[in-house]
Amino acid sequence: MRAVFVRAYRALAERVCAAGETAAACDLLLRLIDLTDEDDAVRDRVAELLLAHAEAVSAEDLPRDEALALRARLAAAYNRAGAVARAEAILAELLHEALDLIAREPAAACWRGLLDAFNSFPDHGRARALLTAGLRRRRGEPGGG
Amino acid sequence: MLGIARSHNGAVALLKDGAVAAAIQAERLTRRKRQPLFLRDDRELVSGCVRYCLEAAGIGYSDLAAAAICTAWKVEPLAAERLAALIGGPWPGARPILHVPHHLAHAEYAVHYGPPAAAGLALVVDGSGAWEADRASFSIETPLRPDALCFADPAGKEVISAFVFDGAGFQVLYRQSPAADPRLRFDENIPELDSIGKYWEWASQYCHGSRNHAGKVMGLAAHGDPATYAGVGALTMTREGRVHVDYGKLRAVFLEPNVVRTDVSLRRHYADVAAMVQGDTIAVLLGLLERLQARARTRTLYFSGGVALNVVANERIVRSGLFDAVHLNGSCEDNGTAIGAAVAAHHALTGDRRPELVTDYYGRAYGAAEVHAAVAESGIAYRVLDDDGLVREAGAALASGRIIGWFQGRSEFGPRALGNRSILANPLDPDTKPLLDLLMKQRERYRPYAPIVPEEAAARYFDLAGSSPVMMREAYVRGGPPLPAITHADGSARVQTVAQRDNPLLHALMWRFAALTGVPVLLNTSFNGPGEPIVESPDDALRFFQRGFLDALYLGRIAIDRL
């Protein structure tokens, strides 16, 4: 069942990408990444597609949960492409808002995006520092940036 | 006595003079969660598990007197030479090999941890156990009591058994072994069986897209309203006492299976489904126990089988007033049948029983030299502390919000880390849970973390009568300092109490933490990453540490700071 979903989403996402419907493509790609988290090779291929489109999508084009998820996935894609500083900058920028949203709503896409982003860091100590700072900032504590 | 659980959760145990000397789950050695032992082409793994136990117990192959095998699959009789090949050592033809029925092994495991010769009722509830068709293949017979309730289909499998234990032997008081229509499956691998364990597998499949997440369903249930689907009546007990799961109703009512395994945090529908399953389970278990208790006329209960991992149901049973004593131990899943089978065989061959205190520290302890060698090999800088220094430093680290790896003494045998292979953290710190959720454990937000507390202080912080040494009970967190990292959505917690005699170092650590924070409670979660078995060896712990999540690692008396 799951494999059928993955194949269907993948085919659809690639067609939408090819048609240049960027926001819709990103939406589909996010769902596809969720489906393929357990398969690194497929996920990385989808992340590449996402990377090619995500920067072009305006946050207003997507619901809040998905917009944050998209940026978190983008950070993960940058990390996997070796652009760690870029990934850190994206995450640092979105973290406060993302933590706020997941405290209030299901925000399942955003949560999964954060999981992916934090675990894509080659140095997990760096991810730890970033998250700690984000949590402190959300509480308005010193050291939270 | 060698015990082997030939199972999807394979394990090997060793009894020395009737007492458990060592036990290991195969997953701890292969580092693959739910590692089966088939006793077919897995000679290297079987022999690895046996060697592990022999080394931990300090004995050799020649000391083995008999072997006991337990399985929930079809029994496959083993000749001596085949067993010798599997275990990697000699097995003379005259040395006995016994096959023990699955539910009897669970029951034997449970009563092994009761007071000496304490008669009682032993209830076993799981997904499924031995095939009825295999009864003739078993080496140990368990007679049916004349007043037994028996719902055993010749083509069926055990799903619920109750035994009356008289302090020496067992009689069957209840047996339900339904047959499943092979055409009816709620997943390609899961038959629609009248089984409480399968009902949980259904819920796990429905809510999480995998049959293996019954624990997640239990965590999710606290967020749901059991009243929403109370009228479905999917799990019921007939007037005669037979448990029934109505899969037709489940198919008709529940139309949104989480096939894509999305995160179901705060999704009301799935939480309500989980709450229904939890509520149904408690109601049916209590109804069944009321009936069995009236027949057995005992105030002592032993409870085992995978369903006994349900701490919420356990607590309701403890508080039901049906029994004065409820005995639970941590390896009530199939791994515990390795011990249970060995205990059964030991009793069958010698007539002897050597009950033990509840514990699950049955793995190997790694000596200082071994730990030093592993750390030196890793090239990581470290410091050596004495006991006092270790407790002072780790206590201060925890009080300041650091998250530490704690690797001490013998590893745990069952599914729960009980403070020897644990990640410990500060339960007062609101950052602790998100840090664990998002980084180390990568898990859903609705799942709780468990607290550990010194046994003598438990009642001050939790509504808990008695002890919970293997984390098998649930208790409500009392008012007092908020403990956000370990308090579940409904105010409950899966508590482990630690007695000074059982784990003096951990006990001292908790009191050191209390001296700095005022609260002797710590968060304790298993020392592993997502989807991984708990770490077993110093190498496993160092590999985890090198990923960079932990702030510090205390490996025996060695302290390692964040890289």
Q: Are residues B302 and B344 in the same domain?
A: no
In a domain, B144, yes or no: yes
Q: Which residues in chain A touch residue B264, judged by CB atoms under 8 angstroms apart? A: 108
Q: Are residues B126 and B228 in the same domain?
A: yes
Flag if A111 and B442 touch (Cβ within 8 Å).
Answer: no
Q: Are residues B378 and B500 in the same domain?
A: yes
Partner A contacted by B381 (CB < 8 A): no
Partner B contacted by A127 (CB < 8 A): yes
Partner A contacted by B549 (CB < 8 A): yes
Among the partner residues A35, A125, A136, nearest to B260 by beta-carbon distance: A35
Check pLDDT > 70 for residue A46.
no
**Which residue type occupies B403?**
I
Where along chain A do its domains lie? 2-139
CA distance B259 to chain A (A): 6
Q: What tokens appear for B62 in the block? A: 């020649």
Partner A contacted by B260 (CB < 8 A): yes
Among the partner residues B430, B435, B445, nearest to A102 by beta-carbon distance: B445
CA distance B490 to chain A (A): 17
∠A95-A100-A105 over CA atoms, to 5°?
125
> How many domains does the structure of chain B reveal?
3
Percent helix, strand and coil across chain B, each rounded to 5?
35, 20, 45
Q: Are residues B163 and B96 in the same domain?
A: no
Q: Are residues B459 and B510 in the same domain?
A: yes
Supply the DSSP symbol for B65.
-
Partner A contacted by B441 (CB < 8 A): no
Report the 3 state secondary structure along B399-462. HCCCCEEEECCCCCCCCCCCCCEEEEECCCCCCHHHHHHHHHCCCCCCCCCEEEEEHHHHHHHE
Question: What is the average pLDDT value for chain A, to the nearest integer?
Answer: 77
Residue of A111, A139, A141 to mutate when probing chain B, most B C-beta within 10 A: A111
Flag if A131 and B438 touch (Cβ within 8 Å).
Answer: yes
Q: Which residues in chain A touch residue B563, judged by CB atoms under 8 angstroms apart? A: 125
pLDDT-derived band at A120 (thresholds 50, 70, 90) equals: confident
Q: Are residues B292 and B410 in the same domain?
A: no
Cα B114 to Cα B300: distance, rounded to the nearest angstrom = 9
Cα A129 to Cα A118: distance, rounded to the nearest angstrom = 11
Cα B100 to Cα B343: distance, rounded to the nearest angstrom = 10
Q: Are residues B163 and B48 in the same domain?
A: no
CATH number, position B293: 3.30.420.40
Q: Are B339 and B23 in contact (CB under 8 A)?
A: yes
Flag if B430 and A139 touch (Cβ within 8 Å).
Answer: yes
Mean predicted confidence (pLDDT) in A2-20: 67
More confident: A57 or B373 = B373
Residue pairs between chains A and B whose CB atoms are closer than 8 Å = 65
* CA B107, B108, B113, B118 torsion-angle sign: positive
- Predicted local confidence at residue A2, as pLDDT: 58
Mean predicted confidence (pLDDT) in A95-116: 87
What pLDDT tens digit does each residue of chain B (563 aa) get? 999 999 999 999 999 999 999 999 999 999 999 999 999 999 999 999 999 999 999 999 999 999 999 999 999 999 999 999 999 999 999 999 999 999 999 999 999 999 998 999 999 999 999 999 999 999 998 999 999 999 999 999 999 999 999 999 999 999 999 998 777 776 666 778 999 999 999 999 999 988 899 999 999 999 999 999 999 999 999 999 999 999 999 999 999 998 767 777 778 999 999 999 999 999 999 999 999 999 999 999 999 999 999 999 999 999 999 999 999 999 999 999 999 999 999 999 999 999 999 999 999 999 999 999 999 999 999 999 999 999 999 999 999 999 999 999 999 999 999 999 999 999 999 999 999 999 989 888 889 999 999 999 999 999 998 999 999 999 999 988 999 999 998 999 999 999 999 999 999 999 999 999 999 999 999 999 988 999 999 999 999 999 888 999 999 999 999 86
Among the partner residues A35, A124, A135, nearest to B431 by beta-carbon distance: A135
Flag if B263 and A132 touch (Cβ within 8 Å).
Answer: no
Tell how far CA B183 is from the center of its chain. Answer: 31
Among the partner residues B265, B430, B439, nearest to A106 by beta-carbon distance: B265
Flag if B562 and A125 touch (Cβ within 8 Å).
Answer: yes
Q: Are residues B149 and B197 in the same domain?
A: yes
- Predicted local confidence at residue A102, as pLDDT: 87
Mean predicted confidence (pLDDT) in A27-48: 64
Check pLDDT > 60 for residue A38.
no
Q: Are residues B344 and B208 in the same domain?
A: no
Partner A contacted by B319 (CB < 8 A): no
Q: Which residues in chain A touch residue B267, judged by CB atoms under 8 angstroms apart? A: 106, 108
Q: Are A125 and A87 in contact (CB under 8 A)?
A: no
Domain limit, last residue, from B302, B318, B350: B350
Q: What tokens appear for B331 in the block? A: 């390896």
Q: Which residues in chain B touch residue A5, judged by CB atoms under 8 angstroms apart? A: 259-260
Flag if B434 and A118 touch (Cβ within 8 Å).
Answer: no
Partner A contacted by B484 (CB < 8 A): no
∠B218-A69-A40 over CA atoms, to 5°?
75
Q: Are residues B478 and B515 in the same domain?
A: yes
Partner B contacted by A8 (CB < 8 A): no
Q: Which residues in chain B touch residue A136, judged by CB atoms under 8 angstroms apart? A: 431
Contacts of B77 (CB under 8 A, 6+ apart): B99, B137
Cα B392 to Cα B385: distance, rounded to the nearest angstrom = 10
Q: Nearest to residue B205, comparing CAs of B184, B226, B185?
A: B185
Give the range of the structural domain holding residue B79, as residue numbers without chain letter: 2-104+336-350
Q: Which residues in chain A touch residue B262, judged by CB atoms under 8 angstroms apart? A: 34, 108, 112
Q: Are residues B97 and B121 in the same domain?
A: no
Check pLDDT > 70 for residue A65.
yes
Number of helices (H), then strands (E), belonging to chain B: the values are: 16, 24
Q: Are B1 and B69 in contact (CB under 8 A)?
A: no
Query: What are the E-state strand segments in B270-313?
Result: 300-304
Mean predicted confidence (pLDDT) in A67-88: 87
CA distance A40 to chain B (A): 15
Q: Are residues B52 and B158 in the same domain?
A: no
Residue B463 DSSP SS3: coil
